[in-house]
Amino acid sequence: MSQQACETVKVRGERASNCCMELRNQEEDAKRETPADARCCQTCQLTIRVVIAITTILVSGLILCFVLFATWTAAPEVDQTSKTSGEELMMMMMMEERVQQCQQQRHDVDLMLHAATQDSRCSLCPDGWRWWRSHCYFFSVGLQKDRRWNESDEFCLQHNSSLAVIKDSAEMEFIQSVMRKFPYLPFPWIGLTDAKQEGQWLWLDGTDIQHYMPVTVEWDADHRDCADLRGGGSLFASSCEAYGPWACKRDS
């Protein structure tokens, strides 16, 4: 069993306390933010909400326009020999014009939304992190040198996160989809270890390995106390002293 990994689990409460102290310091720094910066970010966030609401309305209107136009043009003629009345022609022209207006308005709103999201203070995740389902993920591949499990966990803690605790198959697939984009398939460290008690694999939130999903750790052995993620959603036991990439997870 890795003594270093065991010590990491035992002092996790103390490190979590230090993390809370860092968060309080960050909150105090945030309070010293200039009124202009605060107003800018609030305005940006409000603009995004308004633009999204307008986009939803316009898309609904655009769909309705297309449905009405398609229904009108597809309607069978009662009298094939009769000419379309002036009123019918006017109605068709108005509907075509309305569809064009909806398309132009949608284009304008897309431009507004793109401009509103350029302010970095309104970004959901820090630079280099990926957003997915209300969480931010950091994948060290290509950005950081490989580290041991404890060192990887320390990096995550320093960034107000932890090694990834995978809670369902959708999250597993998301992480796997990111892994498949690299030139080679990495085996990142995740927040799973049996350093506290051999054979009892626990996520870093204290839950049993099968609390969220029916998964197991392969290659388990006394000297392999830390888990990494491999292809097909498989988890493998490795020596905590081995060097490898890692995946951090935090709330957005």
- What pLDDT does 159 receive? 97
Q: Check pLDDT > 70 for residue 127.
A: yes
* pLDDT (tens digit per residue) in 3-60: 554 444 444 444 434 443 443 444 444 444 444 444 555 555 555 666 566 666 666 6
- What pLDDT does 32 receive? 43
- 86 or 159, greater pLDDT: 159
User: What's the Rg (C-alpha) of the chain?
Assistant: 27
Q: Provide CB contacts within 8 A for 18, sequence distance 6+.
A: none
Determine the Cα–Cα distance for residues 178 and 176; give it in Å rounded to an integer. 5
Determine the Cα–Cα distance for residues 138 and 126; give it in Å rounded to an integer. 9
Determine the Cα–Cα distance for residues 105 and 59; give it in Å rounded to an integer. 9
Average pLDDT for 209-233? 96
List the structure tokens of 163: 């090694």
- What pLDDT does 88 receive? 76
Report whether 144 contacts 154 (CB < 8 A): no
pTM for this predicted structure? 0.57
- What pLDDT does 38 receive? 45
**pLDDT band of 92, cuts 50, 70, 90:** confident
| φ and ψ at residue 235, rounded to 5 degrees | -110, 135
- 152 or 30, greater pLDDT: 152
- What pLDDT does 11 receive? 40
Average pLDDT for 200-213? 97
- Number of other CB atoms surrounding residue 137 within 10 Å: 21
Q: Provide CB contacts within 8 A for 129, sequence distance 6+.
A: 136, 137, 138, 250
Q: CA 131, 134, 139, 144 torsion: positive or negative?
A: positive
Determine the Cα–Cα distance for residues 22 and 160; give it in Å rounded to an integer. 9
Ordered by start, the domain boundaries in the chain are 35-122, 129-251
* pLDDT (tens digit per residue) in 164-204: 999 999 999 999 999 999 999 999 999 999 999 999 999 99
Q: Provide CB contacts within 8 A for 211, sequence distance 6+.
A: 203
**What amino acid occupies position 202?**
L
Topology classification of domain 129-251: Mannose-Binding Protein A; Chain A (3.10.100)
